[in-house]
Amino acid sequence: SSELTQDPAVSVALGQTVRLTCQGDSLRNFYATWYQQRPGQAPTVVIYGRNTRPSGVPDRFSASRSGNTASLTISGAQADDEADYFCHSRDNNGNLLLFGGGTRLTVL
């Protein structure tokens, strides 16, 4: 199917590690890009490709993939990481703009 599924909400204690997941059949063949969106702002990229961070993104963000699941891991979450996170990929039918529903991350 052409869907990407994310948990709607996740919380993490300050300084702890959290893993956000994105599930979909197409992820067996394609990587996910991860976008962070803070309230009232446009999204920005935190990870793309296999596990590449754009300049300026802290190295506590990392990505991995196993089977039909892509994961974004934040090692040592900071208050500034509280945001919505969206995964994006493509499907096997040529839809290049497939997004997950997003995960709202709360840092406690």
Closest approach of another protein to the CB of residue 16, in Å = 25
Among 52, 66, 78, 106, which residue interacts with another protein (rule: CB under 8 A)?
52
Question: Are 18 and 67 a contacting pair, CB within 8 Å?
Answer: no
Q: Is 54 in the site for another protein (CB under 8 A)?
A: yes
The 9-38 site mask, x for binding another protein (CB under 8 A), equals: ---------------------xxxx-x-x-
Q: Is 79 exposed, middle or buried (0-12, 13-18, 19+ CB in 10 A)?
A: exposed
Stretch that binds another protein, among 11-19, 47-55, 56-64, 71-79 (CB under 8 A): 47-55
What is the pattern of x (binds another protein, CB under 8 A) and - over residues 64-93?
A: --------------------x-x-xxx---
Rounded Cα distance, 76 and 15, in Å = 4
Q: In terms of CB distance, is 49 or 58 closer to another protein?
A: 49
Asked if 84 and 54 count as a contact pair (C-beta separation under 8 A), the reply is no
Inter-residue contact 55 to 70 (CB < 8 Å): no
Which of 79, 93 has the CB closer to another protein?
93
Enumerate the H helices of the chain as residue ranges. none
CA distance 73 to 92: 26
